[in-house]
Chain A
């Protein structure tokens, strides 16, 4: 109750609540593709490379006093660039994909850390990039999240059948006239935008969990992709709001609280086969 009151009485709690909802929707939708197409590792690389973009944006914002340059703009740029590089490498030379993903993962972080150390002053924001601080979400962040959410949802709405076919059987989709390389590239870009949205909630390091755990749980109970998306988004809402409430009441960091709640349910599902109704 105390938590629900807080949502209505404190603006920062209301913003945090809305951020959770916005993040949950895309987490469920894109997470479903990430899990079924098995590109978790790619999403991880994109997430970590984002620190590079945020570090550079923050550096120029401080040094050149470009106050308009929000770290999230840098995050979007870095995420999209990483997605494009990974997609191109994967289309051109399938066998090298793994090492390129690993390289992007590490190089992005390294660039970020270098720029953060070069930025004058005390950089407490570093911690909020890495682990997220949903209580610092402001109106600008929310507006940006709404725009990114809209882009991702519209994309999935129009390309649902093509995305499903590319994730299920890429070669067959190509023979049936689907531009599979383009669809894959767009899917990775949508994943990149989703990662940026989720970073504001749980931070770079914990993004993967919020992206994949709800979809992995949902996939066990659903019969097609849109059902998986709806269930997975609902689970993400439950996990993130529960985690947020927990962090508010117990005065804990919000990102880890959300992930612990999601992880708890996932493990519960794995160790109790009776719940899933299928024992293999």
Chain B
């Protein structure tokens, strides 16, 4: 973690959490997980498919409850805290032919209503406009979902996550199937957002991590945390035209294998 950890506010605290989907069998997806996320953190969660990355995110969002252990987000239960979390799901789940505009989708981030019904207010629309500007999509507000490119769809989903004016952003596979140039643009936006927001991001692209990611969290039933270190910068810079950091996590992967 960073040096000035004492002054930073802790946003997420996960203590000894275990979880299994099949409660009758002893079939743990996550086992004794400990993890903290602080203000202004940029954390990249990596790991193999089925390793428990998405499960960890669902626990933080309060969509599922841990079998064992404790999770608090902003010192509250996840279900209560999630109105302050901006969430971006994997875009593959969406129906791209749905008759809905960029603005309509962004406004979905403003659904938290005291009574749960009724139209959007002027403030809601203002917040949606600001969110769209933050991801450089404001001029596309009236476009249909199916008229957007892959990279624009990711930015739209980030705007929707930002519309609720969150203190924490959780992103599920924001860069899957994007080419490196579009990915770089996306990271520029995230980097800027990270100035006032903590970001937790899941991706199964573990080899290269952009230079501003603070910690890489490797999830494979258990959790290992790696601070990013600068390695072979020139070589990768040549390859992708940008500076990247490399995380060596072959060592603890061996540990995982031994444990299995």
Contact = CB atoms under 8 A, between A and B. Distances in A.
Interface residues of B, number: 33
Interface string A214-248: 00000100111101100000000000000000000
B19 interface: no
Given A158-B118, A172-B87, A225 B108 contact: no
A182 to B, nearest CB: 9
Nearest to B170: A175
A168 B104 CA distance: 11
Given A168-B98, A169-B94, A228-B99, A176 B108 contact: yes
Interface in B89-108: 89, 93-95, 97-101, 104-105, 107-108
Contact of A171 (B63, B97, B100): B63
A224 B108 contact: no
A160 B119 contact: yes
A36 B95 contact: yes
Contact of A177 (B83, B97, B120): B83
Contacts of A165: 108, 111
B32 to A, nearest CB: 26
Interface in B135-184: 142, 144, 160, 164
**Chain A CB within 10 Å — which of B83, B95, B97, B144 has the most?**
B95
Given A165-B111, A168-B100, A225-B99, A178 B120 contact: no
Contacts of B63: 171, 174-175
Contacts of A194: none
A159 interface: yes
**Chain B CB within 10 Å — which of A161, A176, A225, A228 has the most?**
A176
Given A177-B83, A223-B144, A224-B99, A172 B108 contact: yes
Interface of B: 61, 63, 82-83, 85, 87, 89, 93-95, 97-101, 104-105, 107-113, 116-120, 142, 144, 160, 164
Given A158-B118, A176-B108, 12 more contacts: A36-B95, A159-B117, A161-B111, A162-B117, A165-B108, A169-B89, A169-B108, A173-B108, A176-B110, A177-B112, A178-B111, A224-B99
7 contacts: A165-B108, A168-B105, A172-B87, A174-B63, A175-B63, A176-B111, A179-B116
